Amino acid sequence: MRYIISGKNIDVTEGLKTAVYEKIGKLERYFTPETEIHVTLSVEKERQKIEVTIPMKGNIVRAEQVSTDMYVSIDLVEEIIERQLRKYKNKLIEKKQSAINFNQAFVDDEEDYDDEEINIIRTKRFAVKPMDAEEACIQMELLGHNFFVFRNAETDEVNVVYKRKGNTFGLIEPEC
């Protein structure tokens, strides 16, 4: 695996790099050697946060963990990713999807992992009114939601606005 390690408000020391290589390295058995692992370490006040992103064909495996100790965060994020990979493996087998980034031994492993089934318990239907992103943010605030789906009046595409930390907003647009 190829690691891309960066830091925000923190010097990425050799000790931290070694901890990342040792902990995240446990995941090597799941991936091909060409797989890239993006690791971002950050510090905000007393919060030690690690974000791990593994882009794969058509999907992204991502996890983040926050604690008061960066080494604890590194330990915890590895467990989260491993659990996600096991669930994803079951989906691959069920849907016979491409497993190009995975090590063949992992895919062929017959061990069945506990898989939490996804149950959609409610479906909502609503009219999608054309509006701009700012108006969608206002509507989202009025509804008290964390995200809002709308039809962009300028592009006629379906977009999503969402609330971020620090009372900021994000916009998701489809790629052409």
All structural domains of the chain? 2-108 (3.30.160.100), 130-172 (3.30.505.50)
pLDDT per residue as tens digits for the range 39-74 = 999 998 888 899 998 887 767 788 888 889 999 999
The predicted model scores a pTM of: 0.56
| Mean predicted confidence (pLDDT) in 138-167 | 87
- What would the two tokens of residue 109 be? 């492993």
Q: 77-134: per-residue pLDDT in tens?
A: 988 888 887 777 666 555 444 555 566 666 555 555 555 667 788 887 777 879 999 8
Spatial distance between the Cα atoms of 41 and 64, rounded to a whole number of angstroms: 10
Q: How far is CA 149 from CA 113, 120, 133, 156, 169, in A?
A: 34, 18, 10, 13, 13
